[in-house]
Structure 1
Amino acid sequence: MVRELERERLKSTTFPETAPAANPVFFRTYSRRKEAGVRETWEQVCDRTLSGLIELGQLLPEEAEILSRMQRNLKALPSGRWLWVGGTDWLLQQKNFSGAYNCTSTNAVDWSAFGLMMDLAMMGCGTGAVLEPKYINQLPPIRNRLIVKVQGEIGSTRTEQRREETEVKIEGNLVTIYVGDSRQGWVQSYQRLLELSTNERFTQEVQVIVDISDVRKAGEPLNGFGGVANPVKLPGLYERCALILNKAVGRQLNSVECCLLIDEAAVTIVAGNIRRSAGIRQGSGDDRLFADAKSNLWQQDENGNWRIDPERDALRMANHSRVFHYKPTLEECIDAVRKQYYSGEGAIQWAGEAVARANCDLLKSHEQKVDFLKAYAQGKAEAWLQQRYPIDVNELEHRLARFGLNPCGEIIGSNFHCVSGETLLITRDGMHKIKEIVGSEVEIWNGQKWSQVIPLKTGSDRKLYRVRFGDGSYIDVTEYHRFFVKDRFDKVYQEVQTKDLMDTSPYTIHTEPFTIQYEDGLNIDPEYAYTLGIAVGDGTTDRNNNPKVRLYEKKSALPVAGSKSSERIYSYLPTFIDVTDLGFSGEFLKSLKTNPESLNVIASWSRPAILNFIAGLADTDGSNTKSNGIRIYISDYERAYRVQLLLTKCGIRSSLNLCAYKGAITNYGIRSQDLYYLQITDCGIIPCHRLNVSKGTKAKYKGKWQVVKSVEELPGLHNTYCFNEPECHKGVFGNTLTGNCNLAEVHLNQIAPLNYKEQEEAFTAGALSVASLLHHKFLEPRYQYSRELDPIVGVSFTGLFDFFVHAFGVDWLRWWAEGRPETTQGLAFKGQEQKYLSFWKDTVHGVVWDYCDRHGLKRPNRCTTVQPSGTKSLLTGASPGWHPPKAQRFLRRITFGKNDPVALACIDYGYNVIPSQSDKDEQGNLLNDPFDPRVSEWLVEIPVSVLWADLPGADEIDISQFSALAQTDFYMQVQKFYVTHNTSATIELRENEVEALGTRIYEAIRDDEGYMSAALLARFDDLQTFPRLPFEPISKEQYEQFMKQVEMRRKTDDFHGVLSNYDFGELMESGPAGCDSDKCMMPEQNNERG
């Protein structure tokens, strides 16, 4: 089917002339570099993303044709993440994740949560932080004052000598932090500094030296993630954090101080041009300090220059929302609207509506929903559900937890089939604890091939169960984690959840086998790898901390790299030689011998290098067995387990066995650690020199099948993690292949209002693209009953306002200008709006559910949403999401890293460039010269005119005067008649509308109309608070003048061609950001009018 589509290429689609920002956005955000270094065209992106999606979804020819035609003609597009990574050549898989998966939520209960959020942000994942008292009160009090000094120069250490991991040395009250040259290195240095503030070992103020010499300098490539480094704000991060912490000595941090610490890391990341950070901070509805955090953040001096409060500068990196688990009062609603008017922050989130929508499969009538919401507001939701439905405790907990919102606010849900944060993932680039790579794009083995996923945190305070296997490994999982098992009599592997594993068969069961095919990795010299393995087995360090290896008798002939001494003979020792100058540090050797996590780096090596390392370990600490295999003896389970995973990555099964307990008496004294051995029968490809591996054979016993031995509940409650593998819905967690835990968008501005067939096809295409990501054939239908299996998909649209202008004409705009009153004409307009919205919703649900039924998938209970769509809308010039445009004509400012090739191409194409909002001088004043050396980001200014700007009479309508109540009325139309998740909404208002809008929100929540959450912003022309807006309204005359200037500056009409001239440099950014809501790019505004 895919090849037929390639042969029968549909007519090539260029971006519409009415979408002048399309080329810059497309080539910045969605076009990948090909092998020759040239970026993909739109047709090539369609080829890439469609081919894998069609195969993944097993689409029928007619389904594939609709999907292809709608995407190529810009009428229905997959998610932005899909456009970026879907169907890559080296995998031909689709790697799309929903907006909820691009964003995560973390309870701020310990310092590791802060490190996790920095890690997430560095990978472009939106970060949600829950800062309600029940969480932040678990943080320890600040006890130590930190005096921070930064030493060294970035980039001064030679590349081959740089530390990748952060190292910390403590001498009394003096601490030195050597910042590692990696993402983890940055994160570790930040988290270690925070931990110093509460460490009880110190007796007085702590002198902290932060050495940044190992950090690569600006412009050096970032291997793996892509782009280049730019650590311009990193040196200041540590002093800024210390300033915040020192103010809290003797007490616990408050919610605002927690915000600042999280956001200081985000400032550092944005300044580094790694990605734009998207964030939301959720505080308690009654936390006044949190509610006032951003008051009067931006100020203007007498000359009109903008200045930000430097001590609170970082707060602009995230939106603040107040969560209400009860229905807020009228006063609370008006107060919240007033607060948002002045600061842009403090939106009310009504949790009850979210939970009700996420349980719509139970609340099947409006009356049931209203009754449930009444119980929820009274704190009786759990009892309400228990009285009506036979739900077990875990499912009940899951259902009541489905009020989480991603930073853009359009997806609601909770968490599903998950594992402990300590679970090790074998990835294509290495081996990691899943909790340490949340938000990172990594490739895991799905049982058939490498597949790209993004791990995410899925829950807190969860019960976990330890599943032990006969090969000596185990995995800690939730009750509903999915395994694929059979006994010796079965012919197929059945899907079984943790809770049912031990009841599946009267016979022994084993998990589905797999063999990883791995040929990538770092090209490490085999001799170096073998020598390191020898040293880990028989090595030590001398008085100067240099590594050395002592080889006795026959081992002296082993091919070890380094300087070998002559044979040494002593009467009381066997003959030996010493080998020095081994090529690695003593610290590295000691770490590998004592710290299990240090072995993770070996997993990033090539397969031959890993096998040579294991061979060195076997030749020193191994033996042959009677069964023609080998054994490797290793102290400490965690070290032995990681070597087992190294073997698994190389396609070799092994079993892990306890040999001797800690405390056992030996010839050398009492054993300080448990001793294990790895039994490897299939050892023929391990390049040992001392052990005989020539007779290795396929495993027949423990190494052949991974037998399930036991399931036991773990004490306490735990955080949980997972990922969504879209092709097989499987992945290797630890040493076991198990199951694991989607957004499309219709561009309505590209579709004629009377062409119902094309509307149906567009929403059908959107539904097929998200439904395909749910693909997995369930072998046991009885396990589909569980509401823990809560698949999330979302089909969104953009350009709704444009669509309705074309459908109803200028009269509809005039009705808007009047406030959308319920006149005869107004009711007719509303009836038509509802008809369209309901038709599209029914189309989406019908297609998704029909697809799921045909493919044996569990139906999602909610499938429609509206994203902010601030980026993808630019590909067609659509008004974003459901929103009206800012004006008929406006300047659109788009963020790039300074000297980004796409930005340079924009200059040649005639567009103007200015510094971004984040570029300020020492006094906090915005910089004006884009080529100032202090500037790190550019804003490209693009004049835009909406599709219908020149309709007769359209210019008579002032869109900026549309009332907040009219916007809310339209938003609620979408929320009621199309959306089943939530609608991402930003409502603009003036000061005289505060009470009316607050009252309307109060009424909508009170009367159970479906209101959940919306962001509010002061109108630009009412409160002149935002410098360098993403949108700036301009008149028709200004637009024409700007366009003349663009034409005068333009050097070429071939954007792709001029981009190619710059495209042999490195990208500053790669892929779509974690959030593309316009509000995420807004600075916070002044609280008081000048």
Structure 2
Amino acid sequence: MVRELERKHVGAEFPQTAPAANPVFFRTYSRRQQPEGTRESWSQVCDRTLKGLVELGKLTQDEALLLEEMQRNLKALPSGRWLWVGGTNWLAQPKNFSGAYNCTSTNVIDWSAFGLMMDLAMMGCGTGAILEPKYINQLPTIRNNLKVTVEGNIGKTIANERREFTGTEINGNQATIYVGDSRQGWVKSYQTLLELSTDEQFTEEVEVIVDISDIRKAGEPLQGFGGMANPVKLPALYQRCAAILNKAVGRKLTSVECCLLIDEAAVTIVAGNIRRSAGIRQGIDTDAAFTDAKANLWQQGEDGNWRIDPERDALRMANHSRVFHHKPTLEECVNAVRKQYYSGEGAIQWAGEAVARANVDLLTTKELKTEFLEAYDRGEAKQWLQKRHLNLDEKELEHRLGRYGLNPCHSGDTLVSTDKGLVPIKDLVGKPFKALVDLRSVGLEGVKLTDAIAFCTGVQTTYLVTLKNGQQMRCTADHQHFTNKGWVATKDLTSEHNIYIQKGEGFFGEGTITVEQAQMLGWLYGDGSIYQGSRGKDAVFYINRHEYQTVFPVLQSAVESLTGYNHQPSFVKGIYTFHSGSPVMHSFFEQLGIESKNSLPDKFLTESKEVIIGFLQGLFSADGCINVKGRNIELRNRSRQLLAQIQIILLNLGIKSSLIIKQKPGAPGVPYTLKDGTEKVSRNQGSWRLIIYSGDGARQFRKVVAFPLVPEKQERLEKIAAYKVSRNYSEAVISSRYASKLKSIEEYGEEPVYDLHVPLTHSFIANGCITHNCGEIIGSNFHCNLSEIHLNQIDPENHKEQEQAFTAGALSVAALLNHKFLEPRYQYSRELDPIVGVSFTGLFDFFVRAFGVDWLRWWSEGRPATNEGLAFKRREQEYLSMWKDIVHRVVWEYCDRNNIKRPNRCTTVQPSGTKSLLTGASPGWHPPKAQRFIRRITFRKNDPVAMACIDYGYAVVPSQTDKDENGNLLNDPFDSRCTEWLVEIPVAVPWADVPGADQIAIDKFSAFAQMDFYMQVQQFYVTHNTSATIEVRENEVEELGNKIYQAIQNDEGYISAALLARFDDHETFPRLPFEPISKQQYDELMQQVEKRRDTNNFYSALKRYDFGELMEAGPSGCDSDKCMMPEEKPM
């Protein structure tokens, strides 16, 4: 069967209604093939992923052919994760099975639960801990005081003599723990310490000796898991845990103490180079201590300084969540909606509905479910189940009632301020680090380092946010920024918002070169050249006559320290010049990662503070100038990328600056004369200015950097720094200066995105700006895989096609039920409560096609319960119910045939972003934003995919950042001043030409109408939960809060939903990523596309410009601004 799939290719290209599909696909799901080095085509991705599903699922020939037909024709797709890794050797290894799933949740009932969570966290799983009294009261009483001593030195034992597993020796009231050098060894030593606190064999205080001699030292590789060891915080783990336990002697642990014990392990894990150990700690809403556990975490001392409570410091490692086990009141519901409108947080999760849905195999009728929810609201759910299901043992009963647990974006080149300096966020994944946080985000002052975790959140559309001061970042539409009006999502930013930037000096790494060598390198970047010589990269230095006496000795000494050669300069036309072509100089550049003067390599940004300052001293001494009249310091350069890096470096030193364009590329250059007398004018490649204004900026620059190589510039610096401040400003005014107004937002395109988990402030500093961290993922003791049906590709009248699509989706998720997990508790959960999820996208498109424009008009009226409206609802319900029945029937038949327990819930609707673009579907159940629009995607000029788009007929215009000398947008993409392109793609939803559809204002749909449609999906299709984002206006808060209250009170199926504030008066910018257009405009644009189109095969067009050795290796970060070019560049 597999061989047959490899031979037979059927299916279609991406549909015309998905014009963004090709760029998205080749960025996101197309892996590099070996040894060819070319990208996979859609057909080849199908070959790989289908082969993996057929083998894992042991599918029949008919099932395999059905999956192939549906996937190749884009009607039913496996998960996005499977599209990327499905069928690879990596995923075939049992230890990697969990990498295809999401999260874990654990009931804390014994010491093993603590060890299990540490073990899961060390494998990179998110850990959810349920800490309700009914669980933690099962823990034993703490009886023994522990006196812990840590002996031995990490790395003392040579590698081949280290013990792998932990051993314990007990002699009287003394216990010695020999920590093993493995993940299991760490976990066992931690769990053993906890167990000693309740061990009844001891008669008095227990002297605990922890021997860490066998632990490998920092920097040694972690075999199998990958990364490098860093046990820096392991020794402190044992004493900190003992301190927590000792306070509880004579009683049981509280929920907060349990949090602390779990989180102390998490602190150790984060330091130990684990990719991810984010967590959720879940308590009941009546547990006041748990609810307020993180309140007043920061305390002000008598000296006025703020300090974190050292005994609760570890709580920052996880988010705390309250769950309602009783139906909330109307006031609680309205307050929750209001809080979400203003802050985006505070949603109600009604656990009763979640538990009822998870037990649908027992609650087989509406009446039974209603009875159960009434019992749940009274706190009698367990007794209710016991009375009616006598065969349920205690273990299964607890599992069934606990199925409501919880578990826990920027571009990859975004620079994060850390304890090691400025590091691209993609390079922080899997490494221990501390993030620098600006405490203004929590109402305090100053900056602080705090433990954080970096992780990849997938591939999404990003947007380039540019501030008036020139700072930029790329992030997703929903990513929030700290502004003068609170936290605001990217898509909601307007010109009235000022984004706060870092206020306060950050941290740096360790130096690998001398300060003098750094000064030399800075001068080279300013007044020098790097070129490819016969023996490698050579360096040439230029020095003005009046600067020679102070500059040359520094450069000469630095070069000599590297090459051993005492260089002497030549003097030509008033300029001193000397060059170094030594192979040692080439090795110096190679060691630092320097390719050219256009930018600093990432690794240089983690040098020591002294080295960084030395570089700035050389750079500003060479190319900087002092404008005494204008009272500013200015640095000019042709590379915006370099100056953007310098701007963030300065900010990390406490110096704010502005980056503005001086001259666009193509402007008249400098006249010069060749040796033969020919007069020429240089080609102007454009230049930018980095300006530090007088006042705090100039004084801080004088204090930290200055001009030590050029005394004349230093004298002028002293003048502008000496200007006295005319008045004293309040802290609020000073703080407001560390913010910059929004200038523009433009789409970048699809790319891998990353985020941090920062428990202390839930924010961090990205490219010098204060930005929010990520949210939470819902889970419940399971591993869940998703598939997605693209309803916009399916005929509403073709019921056979619908059945085939949902059958294929069901088979693709059921196949993963064959995974056998190595962890017994998770395998038990898989056997007791197997979970799958078949989702869909394009539902709104499907129903417009099925019901016509009258359905749209009904939406615009608020979906009222008229006769027509009730008829529409019945037909919606018929479709939704039919699809649900198909999914469950197919999954259950598959499970029966393969002797796998049937999942009792198989349908869901998840957020659908990237995959929806493959077919042009409106995401999930949500309405689109408009009937027709222009999608603009930003590329670097001459990018291969952009060139393919041109051949495919799409228009290209200069980006928002490309302007003439008068500030007007350029119109010619081939203008020499143009550096970036916007590919303009006309898009129309599949039903755009339905008569009357143009008269419907989709953006005016009410929150009530959205809630009503969401509840249709939740009630008649979804058996898990529906991912929903309801856009609400301020005047709709009360109504929506009441609607949620009624939905919970009436047992309508509501669990939770995200709410998003909607504003109707946004200011817009030219050449937006998303621009609604009329039908006439769309038709004219499409005629132009067809006229320009040279080929109907996008893949072939791409091959003309794309070469294997220069292609991206799958969805990885890109090192250049707004392009999909690879990290390797031609010389």
Give the TM-score of the pair, scaled to structure 2. Answer: 0.46
Give the TM-score of the pair, scaled to structure 1. Answer: 0.47
Q: Which has the higher contact order (CA 8 A, sep 6+)?
A: 1
